[in-house]
Amino acid sequence: MASKPVVAYFHDEDVANFHYGQRHPMKPHRLALTHSLVLNYGLHEKMQVYRPYRATADDIGMFHSKDYVRYLQRPTLKDGSKFLIGTGHDCPLFEGLFDFCSMYTGASLEGARKLNHKQCDIAINWSGGLHHAKKFEASGFCYVNDIVIAILELLKYHPRVLYIDIDIHHGDGVEEAFFTTDRVMTVSFHKFGDQFFPGTGNIFEIGEGRGKYYSVNVPLKNGIDGDTYLRIFKPTMTKVIERYQPSAIVLQCGADSLGLDRLGCFNMTIESHGACVDFIKSFNLPTLILGGGGYTIRNVARCWTYETGLLVGAELSNEIPFGEYFPFFGPDFSLHPDMSTSFENENTKEYVDRLLAQIDLHLKQIEAVPSVMMQEIPSDGLLHDLIHARKEEEKDKNADERFPQSERDKHIKPDNEFE
């Protein structure tokens, strides 16, 4: 990776318009706040900005079962319970469900493909990172596991992919998908215990078969602050990367691990959350950056904007720039507000030392740089779609008089997009 990495940023303005329900904590509108801050800080001038590809049913079927994909295309309340969607479940049925999934999954998939083809060094999709979805069902506000699909795409070109999860919730859907393989190592830092969702991710959950010891879980207690978190995160990730030597990284940046999150119980600041992102960036490996949880939406937007700044090497003013969502960030209108909570840090020095020792013991069991027999690379679905679109345009007798959609989408941004 170059000293100044090429950063590709994916945003579909429509993805923020979906609504889980009035009282539901997941608010896609947080993506509009984030994108507005990114623009108002001028970060779009330091990145390649794309309106992303929208995933097809075939793309989603790379991981999810045919029955489940068919349901997502034509969802009904009657059949929803079979897939844990609808009344009585944490994944509601809402209008445009498949379009929503298509948008956030397509952005992650296109980010992976651009990394595969060395068209960027870092790809950012804040709408992605929905890590709980399972092969046959929805879970934890997540319908399609865009992370698994993006990793499957990366595996076409990369022998080993490292997945890192700093959401407060265990990355169970991703871990489960790769639990028996050594081609993907999953590392999740999360709250564990007290019946906290999803209830998985204890330190002895390490993988099975060829995947034994390639699932690393870091169970944390209430109230962890930034200094304690980084004391665990940095040495753990240093050892993982030295031992595993991945050729690509996927980093899920769930912002519910921040202090004052509506569903959280940690004391992380935006600065310490961002320090994790900056630390992973320092390894100079092709990296896909994704969103995830985060339910105090003004702080989600602050966090992901700050981290976008870190990824492009920009220093951001602590004063929130004026924009359409400026009132959301009151009363202080700062990028780094006080995020202290009443949660006491239960992660004592003794607990952290035992945690690090056990993780180190597990890592010593794995084969350093597992060997992989690479096969012929399957074709990219996106490339196939573009070729098909061009053929259709050639058939049109007026093709020379119009600017086709597939060509428009190749442009980083229209001249007037950010005026």
CATH number at residue 157: 3.40.800.20
Quick check: is 255 in a domain? yes
Residue 368 is predicted with a pLDDT of: 76
| Residue 256 assigned as binding residue | yes
The domain of 65 spans: 7-378
CA atoms within 13 A on the CB side of 260: 14
Three-state SS annotation for 356-408: HHHHHHHHCCCCCCCCCCCCCCCCCHHHHHHHHHHHHHHHCCCHHHCCCHHHH
Quick check: is 322 in a domain? yes
DSSP designation for 206: -
Q: Catalytic residue at 132?
A: yes
Give the span between the Cα atoms of 38 and 93, in whole angstroms: 30
| Residue 362 assigned as binding residue | no
Residue 382 is predicted with a pLDDT of: 52
| Residue 21 assigned as binding residue | no
Quick check: is 65 in a domain? yes
Quick check: is 401 in a domain? no
Are 26 and 141 in contact, with CB atoms under 8 Å apart? yes
Quick check: is 183 in a domain? yes
Residue 374 is predicted with a pLDDT of: 61
Q: 3-state DSSP: the chain helix, strand, coil percent, rounded to 5?
A: 40, 10, 50
Place of tokens 């190592």: 185
| Residue 169 assigned as binding residue | yes
Quick check: is 411 in a domain? no
SS3 assignment, position 50: strand
Residue 413 is predicted with a pLDDT of: 45
How far is residue 288 from each of residues 172, 250, 358, measured CA to CA in Å? 19, 5, 28
List the structure tokens of 153. Answer: 């795409």
Quick check: is 395 in a domain? no
Are 177 and 145 in contact, with CB atoms under 8 Å apart? yes
Q: Which of 11, 64, 132, 273 is catalytic?
A: 132
Average pLDDT per run of 10 along the chain, which is 419 residues long? 85 97 96 98 98 97 98 95 94 97 98 98 98 98 98 98 98 98 98 97 97 98 98 98 97 98 97 98 98 98 98 98 96 95 95 98 86 65 50 44 41 44
Specify the number of domains making up the chain.
1
